[in-house]
Amino acid sequence: MIDLYTWFTPNGRKVSLMLEECGLDYTTHAVNIAKDEQFAPEFLKISPNNKIPAIVDNDNGKSLMESGAIMMYLADKTRKFWPSDPENKWSTVEWLMFQMGGVGPMFGQCHHFTKYNSGKAPYAEDRYLNETKRLYGVMNERLGKNGFLACDEYTIADMAVWPWVARFDWQTVDLNDFPNVRRWYLEILDRPATRRGWNVPENEQEIPMP
Ligand SMILES: N[C@@H](CCC(=O)N[C@@H](CS)C(=O)NCC(=O)O)C(=O)O
């Protein structure tokens, strides 16, 4: 049994998608970051950087923060969604790190300036929107050659990126401009585990349709 500490954000949903895909038993603990619950002393013991997601694996007592580390931990535990042949194994790490170092921070800044603070800082809006679109272009190119980001299999790298692409409307990005990303987005959207993982913790948001 795994304890999942999360909220319905792109970083949180990566992990709920993975837990659902793997069919692991888990208990969800909602950490409402809009009410500063991420700063509660009990939560900081598990996630000292005061961010969701975090997990505790009750099989061995291990706790983990940082979604990329959690995705690798769960893939290693279940031997799922992280291919074992060296070529695809390292491509999976490569594209997972592309998410952690590129898509997450840049799309996050794009949300901050373009959606929530539009008009306040035109330089920052341009910078992060341009970088967001550049990253979409990189993914579009890659997905024109491969079924999924790392290889032709669905992996933790796709699960890490997908919830960020699901915010295309917040980013003012038209997925029709990136047809390979659109194809990939819709394919993953159709997976039952994606739909279940989206709704963790339970929320009213619909999955955006391009
Ligand atoms: N690098 C971290 C980023 C996690 C993160 O930014 N989480 C956000 C929600 S998506 C959060 O908890 N924010 C609360 C805060 O910064 O106080 C990861 O991938 O797990």
Per residue in 8-19, pLDDT (tens digit) is 999 999 999 999
For residues 130 and 156, give the distance between their C-alpha atoms in angstroms, rounded to a whole number.
Answer: 26
CATH superfamily, domain at 2-80 = Glutaredoxin (3.40.30.10)
- Residues contacting 183, CB < 8 A, separation 6+: 143
Q: Which CATH architecture has domain 86-195?
A: Up-down Bundle (1.20)
**Mean pLDDT over each residue of the chain, to the nearest integer:** 98
CA 10 to ligand 1: nearest atom: 10
Q: What is the pLDDT of residue 134?
A: 98
**Residue with CA closest to ligand 1 atom 6:** 51
Domain ranges of the chain: 2-80, 86-195
> Around 61, how many Cα atoms within 13 Å sit in the side-chain half-sphere?
0
For the record, the structure tokens of 92 come out as 């999976």
Mean pLDDT along residues 154-178: 98
Taking the C-alpha atoms of residue 171 and residue 165, their distance in angstroms, rounded to an integer, is: 9
For range 39-60, the mean pLDDT: 98
What pLDDT, on the 0 to 100 scale, is given for residue 209? 96
Phi and psi (nearest 5°) for 94? Answer: -60, -50
Q: Mean pLDDT over residues 55-66, rounded?
A: 98
Residue nearest to atom 5 of ligand 1 (CA): 51
CA dist 29 and 32 (Å) reads 10
Name the band, by pLDDT with cuts 50, 70 and 90, for residue 199.
very high
Q: Return all residues near 68 (Cβ < 8 A) that are at least 6 apart.
A: 96, 97, 99, 100, 160
CA of 159 to the centre of ligand 1 (A): 16
Distance in Å, CA 136 to ligand 1 centroid: 21
What per-residue string of b and e applies to 112-143 under the rule 16 or more CB within 10 Å gives b? ebbeeeeeeeeeebeebbebbbebbeebbebb
Q: Is the CB of 33 under 6 A from ligand 1?
A: yes
Instruction: Check if 37 has its Cβ closer than 6 Å to any atom of ligand 1.
Output: no
- The mean pLDDT of 101-120, rounded to a whole number, is 97
Q: What is the mean pLDDT of residues 101-130?
A: 98
Pocket test for ligand 1, best of 4, 6, 8, 11 (most atoms within 8 A of CB): 11
- The confidence band for 137, taking pLDDT boundaries of 50, 70 and 90, is very high
